[in-house]
Amino acid sequence: MPVKLVWLALFFLLWAVVFLVVPRDRIVNLLLPSFLGGTVVALVVNLIGASVLGLWRFPVALVPVLGIPLFFLLAYMPAMLLFLHYWDHLPGGSTEKVLYLITFSLANTVLAYFALSLGYVVFIRWNLLYFFLLALALYGLVALLFFAPGVRAVLRKI
């Protein structure tokens, strides 16, 4: 697969998974939170990490946005939708949620490892441990924010 198309393929693959496993009404309910918690957060983090601080870079992009592949950013929306959907349906208490958070962050880190080893992203002053810890913090923060009662009530009105 041409390097320029890898993020586009990931974007479509993740949306295919969403449409296969998430009920349609949940997709509609989680569109805004997944856009804000996925694409917008990914844009901010990558603008700071890649464009401002130069911690990593993307050698090639089909449609670059300040040096960041557009479909890489957009792929975080279905990923966040999957995360939020299952977070809300986890049985049990906080132990299950912490394990799910760690597992999802680890899955993101494995994807980053493959992207790194195939040359789709280059870490300059960054590494996979930092990536994992950042994913853990961001997914945890998004889950806390979007499942707080006040935020949830506001999102239902939109």
pLDDT, tens digit (0-9, with 9 covering 90-100), for 127-144: 999 999 999 999 999 988
Contact residues for 139 (Cβ-Cβ < 8 A; gap 6+): 83, 101, 104, 105, 108
pTM: 0.89
pLDDT, tens digit (0-9, with 9 covering 90-100), for 83-112: 999 998 888 778 888 999 999 999 999 999
Question: Around Cβ 1, how many Cβ atoms within 10 Å?
Answer: 8
pLDDT, tens digit (0-9, with 9 covering 90-100), for 36-49: 999 999 999 999 99
State the pLDDT at residue 105. Answer: 97
